[in-house]
Structure 1
Amino acid sequence: MLRYFRWMAITSLVIYLSGASSDFALAEISSDYGQINAINISHRGASGHAPEHTLQAYELGNAMNGDYIEIDLQMTKDGELIALHDETIDRTTERKGLVKNLTLKEIKKLDAGSWFNDAFPEKMSTEYLGLQIPTLREVLDRFGPDSKFFIETKSPEVYPGMEEKLINILNEYNLIGAHHTFGNVVVQSFSVESLRKVHEIDKSIPLVQLLSYYAPAVITDTEVSKIKEYAVGVGLHYTAVSPGYIKKVTDSGLMVFPYTVNEKEDMNMLLDWGVTGMFTNYPDRLNEVIQSRISKKP
Structure 2
Amino acid sequence: MSTLRPALVSMLALLGSTTLLASMTAQADALEQQREALHNNVQVIAHRGASGYAPEHTWYAYDKALAMGTDYLELDVHMSADGHLVAIHDTTLERTTDGQGPVKEHSLDELKALDAGSWFNRAHPEYADDAYAGAKLLTLDDVIDRYGQDVRYYIETKSPKDYPELQDALVNKLEAEGLVQSGSVVIQSFSQASLQEVHKLNPDIPLIQLLWYSPSEDGKTLEEWTGVTPSPADITDADFQTIAEYADGVGPNYLYEGGPVIDASFIEQAHANDLLVHVYTINDQDQMHQLLDWGVDGLFTNFPDRLKGVLAEVE
TM-score range, shorter chain: 0.7 to 0.9
Aligned with 1:292: secondary structure?
A: helix
Query: Aligned AA for 1:18?
Result: E
Specify every segment of 5 or more residues in structure 1 that has no aligned partner in the other structure, as ranges.
1-13, 31-36
The one of 132, 136, 144 aligned to 1:132: 136
- Post-superposition Cα deviations, 1:182-213, rounded to whole Å, max 9, x if no partner, equal 2x100000001100000001010010000121
Structure 2 partner of 1:267: 288
Match of 1:223 among 232, 239, 259: 239
2:75–2:154 Cα contact (<8 Å) kept: yes
Determine whether 1:112 maps to 2:116: yes
Closer, same or farther: CA 101–220 of 1 in aligned 2, 3 Å: same
Aligned residues: 266
Which amino acid in 2 is paired with 1:140? Answer: I
* Separation (CA, whole Å) in 2 of partners of 1:90 and 1:274: 38
Partner Cα distance (1:18, 1:90) in 2: 41
Structure number with the bigger relative contact order (C-alpha 8 A, sep ≥ 6) is 1
After superposition, give the CA deviation of every residue in 1:82-107 in whole Å (9 maximum; x if it has no partner): 00000000100112110111000000
Correspondences of 1:16-27 after superposition (within 5 Å): 17-18=31-32
Aligned to 1:83: 87
Cα distance between partner residues in 2 of 1:151 and 1:212? 17
Residues 73 and 152 in structure 2, CA contact (< 8 A), matched pair in contact too:
yes
SS in 2 for 1:106: helix
Does 2:210 match 1:210? yes
8 Å Cα contact 2:30/2:182 also seen in 1: no
- In 1, the alpha carbon distance for the partners of 2:211 and 2:30 equals 22
Which residue does 2:3 correspond to in 1? none
Structure with the greater alpha carbon radius of gyration? 2
Q: What is the Cα-based RMSD across aligned positions, in Å?
A: 2.0
Work out whether 1:58 is the aligned partner of 2:62. Answer: yes
Q: Percent identity?
A: 46
- In the alignment, the residues of structure 1 paired with residue 33 and residue 137 of structure 2 have an alpha-carbon distance, to the nearest angstrom, of 37
Amino acid in the other structure paired with 1:222 = A
Name 2:182's counterpart in structure 1.
181
CA distance in 2, matches of 1:15, 1:293: 30
Distance verdict in 2 for CA 1:67–1:103, change over 3 Å: same
- Contact 1:17 / 1:206 at 8 angstroms: preserved in 2? no
Match of 2:268 in 1: 247
Show CA shifts across 1:225-258 (max 9, x none). 1101100000011122201100000121100001
